[in-house]
Amino acid sequence: MSCSDQLIVGRARALTHTASHTALAGFGRCCTINAACAAYFHVVPKSYDRLAGSYKVLEQLAFGRLLHKVREQAVDELLDKLEPHQQVLILGEGDGRFLQSLTHKCKTPCHITCIDKSAQMLARAQAKVTPTADLHVNFVLADATRDIPLDTYDVIISLFFLDNFAATTLQTLIPKLANHLTHQGIWLLADFRQAKYGLAVWRSRMWLWLMYRFFRFVTDIEADQLVDPTRLFKEHGFLQLERQSFQHGFVVLETWQKEHTQPLKR
């Protein structure tokens, strides 16, 4: 820890300490919590590390079991397509709930590479998984827009990951990742979408507005609005095999297959 970090931590501790000792009972407790939060947010830079511990609870408060259901469907979709000894790449795994379910259900020997930019998220994912002789899991702390460990994968999985990026990044990221996918490889994705009909339009508009404000305040996400990557997938040689929609199209789970290779435009 550098001197300036120690100073910040020291100031943070002092804040918490002062708050807890000077305030009256209930009010004091409230101040302590506020001071601790302020201190924590002061010390930990904007990133998903800040959310790792509370991510599951926040998600459940906002959406109940919706995203859990989508992840479980994604696991079943993957197991339906997975062939023995294939290479699977999981982008932005988060706290490991998809991986945990996959490793419980999977009876097919395969090799999984799991990339996340957040050390805290990756540590949580790692703690949830017990690799077996048939199931190799490689955890990589990396920025998926820059470093992809292997050249080719048979399956790419991105759950609530692409919605972190602005249109300009997606325009290079999707073809770049497509180049890491084997011919007829599968890309399984789940993401939020703007609902198209009825009251759901207003509901999704409100949630998306709130979510982007929240995530941009707490983490370092680049996007400030949702970009639908469908056109990019089609332009880069993907064919949509399946599509499931949840809550009137507010969340989608899509299976794309790489049909032909497009030269990467730089």
Ligand X SMILES: C[S@@+](CC[C@H](N)C(=O)[O-])C[C@H]1O[C@@H](n2cnc3c(N)ncnc32)[C@H](O)[C@@H]1O
- Which stretches of the chain bind ligand X, using CB under 6 A? 48, 71, 92-94, 98, 115-118, 121, 143-145, 159-161, 164
Least distance CB 217 / ligand X (angstroms): 14
Least distance CB 157 / ligand X (angstroms): 8
By beta-carbon proximity to ligand X, the closer residue of 143 and 242 is 143
Least distance CB 199 / ligand X (angstroms): 25
> How far, in Å, CA of 102 to CA of 77, rounded?
11
Residue 231: count of CB within 10 angstroms of its CB: 11
3 state SS for 158-173: EECCHHHCCHHHHHHH
Do β-strands 86-91 and 251-258 pair in parallel, antiparallel, or remain unpaired? unpaired
By beta-carbon proximity to ligand X, the closer residue of 71 and 258 is 71
- Residue 163 CA, chain-centre distance (Å), reads 9
Least distance CB 198 / ligand X (angstroms): 26
- Tokens standing for residue 44: 């930990």
Q: Is 92 helix (H, G, I), strand (E, B) or coil?
A: coil
By beta-carbon proximity to ligand X, the closer residue of 153 and 161 is 161
By beta-carbon proximity to ligand X, the closer residue of 32 and 219 is 219
Least distance CB 113 / ligand X (angstroms): 12
- List Cα–Cα distances, 92 to 35, 52, 147, 188, 209, in angstroms: 31, 12, 13, 13, 22
> How far, in Å, CA of 67 to CA of 191, rounded?
10
By beta-carbon proximity to ligand X, the closer residue of 20 and 244 is 244
Identify residue 238 by its one-letter amino acid code. F
> How far, in Å, CA of 114 to CA of 97, rounded?
12
- Tokens standing for residue 34: 């506020």
Least distance CB 21 / ligand X (angstroms): 36
By beta-carbon proximity to ligand X, the closer residue of 159 and 174 is 159
